[in-house]
């Protein structure tokens, strides 16, 4: 989608600090990190949210989680712990309507509100 921020990052039209890439996923540092490690893992295929992605390409949803595990290892948070988070919809705080998985870690994370 030409107006989707994450599609444009995947297409390399907008720069991002890429930390991991597979045939189906791209992982890059969040521009407004909420933890010392905050990486966004997106499918290269556009889907508005995780549920839509699961309905149209469930294997790609698996790929997001596998990529997130690789990111956690590479970022040094796999052993101490990290959070994987999907925001779905405006009330949940989703601001880019392209499915994406946040990998957060690097410090003790508090409970979600």
Residues with catalytic function: 100
| Contact residues for 8 (Cβ-Cβ < 8 A; gap 6+) | 2, 14
Neighbours of 91 (CB within 10 A): 7
CA distance 97 to 20: 21
């Amino acid at each position: 989608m030409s107006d989707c921020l994450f599609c444009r990052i995947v297409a390399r039209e907008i720069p991002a600090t890429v930390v991991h890439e597979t045939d189906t996923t791209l992982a890059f540092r969040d521009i407004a990190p909420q933890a010392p490690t905050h990486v966004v893992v997106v499918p290269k295929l556009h889907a508005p949210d995780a549920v839509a992605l699961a309905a149209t390409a469930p294997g790609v949803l698996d790929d997001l989680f596998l990529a997130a595990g690789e990111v956690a290892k590479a970022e040094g948070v796999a052993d101490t712990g990290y959070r994987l988070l999907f925001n779905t919809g405006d009330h949940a705080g989703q601001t880019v309507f392209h499915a994406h998985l946040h990998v957060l870690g690097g410090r003790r994370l508090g409970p979600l509100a």
